[in-house]
Amino acid sequence: MDTTKILVVDDNPTIRKGLGVRLRASGYEVLFAGDAVAATAALVTDRPDLVILDLGLPCGDGFVVMERLSNNDRLANIPVIVLTGRELAGNRDRALEAGAAAFFQKPVEDRNLLYAIRKALDNSRGELRFDE
Amino acid sequence: MTKATRPSSELPAYLSHELRNALACIQQFGNILIDGLAGELSGEQREYIGIMLENASKIRSVLDSALDGTERPL
């Protein structure tokens, strides 16, 4: 059985490292990107099963990454979970309208994030089965 | 932008971003330690990390209330 790949996009290396430890301990393969350009490259090259996306990023913010995802037929069904330090106002609704499967403000409880990941992956795989 | 030149209207967004990222790091690695993902801890070590996490949670609650007008249960 293939390992589920999760791309963690955050410009803070300590956040990336902590999420990596937690996600690997939960059985996921973890990929990293520190800015919007690297995130776009990783999406195309590695085609992760899910993205955990910060909004405040160098070289274009998280909304730019979500727009690139939704404009690419091959990538458009990859679920995105937004995990950001930004304020709720103006960001939560915009992220959900842009297609995010879930929106969390930092710091997030591990159990809530892991639950959202499982749920988003289940929904994504269900959609794929339905489409087939 | 430096602290001195940042418009006061941007202060809440700046504080939210910086403090939430710092708190996320504290909570993330505290939980990694207390869950034994970096090796087993003694009972005393677990107790002290638990105190750190409990207080990080209190700070988060204050942030939620002060910056976003929301409050999460402790």
Query: End-to-end alpha-carbon separation of chain B, Å?
Result: 34
Any idea what DSSP says for residue A2? Answer: P
Q: Residues A43, A73: contact at Cβ < 8 Å?
A: no
pLDDT at A1: 55
Rounded average pLDDT over A87-99: 93
Section B40-59 average pLDDT: 96
d(CA A101, CA B4): 38
Residues of A in contact with B24 (CB under 8 A): 15, 18, 85, 106-108
Least CB–CB distance from B67: residue in A15, A25, A87: A87
pLDDT of residue A77: 93
Bridge partners of residue A103, in order along the sequence = A82
What mean pLDDT value characterizes chain A? 92
Per-residue pLDDT at B70: 62
Q: What is the DSSP pairing of strand A50-53 with strand A29-33?
A: unpaired
Residue A27 pLDDT > 50: yes
The pTM score is 0.88
Taking residues A22-28, report their average pLDDT. 98
Are A87 and B13 a contacting pair at CB < 8 A?
yes
CB contact under 8 A, B29 and A87: no
Are the C-beta atoms of A82 and A102 separated by less than 8 Å?
A: yes
Strand ranges for chain A from DSSP E: 5-9, 29-33, 50-53, 80-84, 102-105
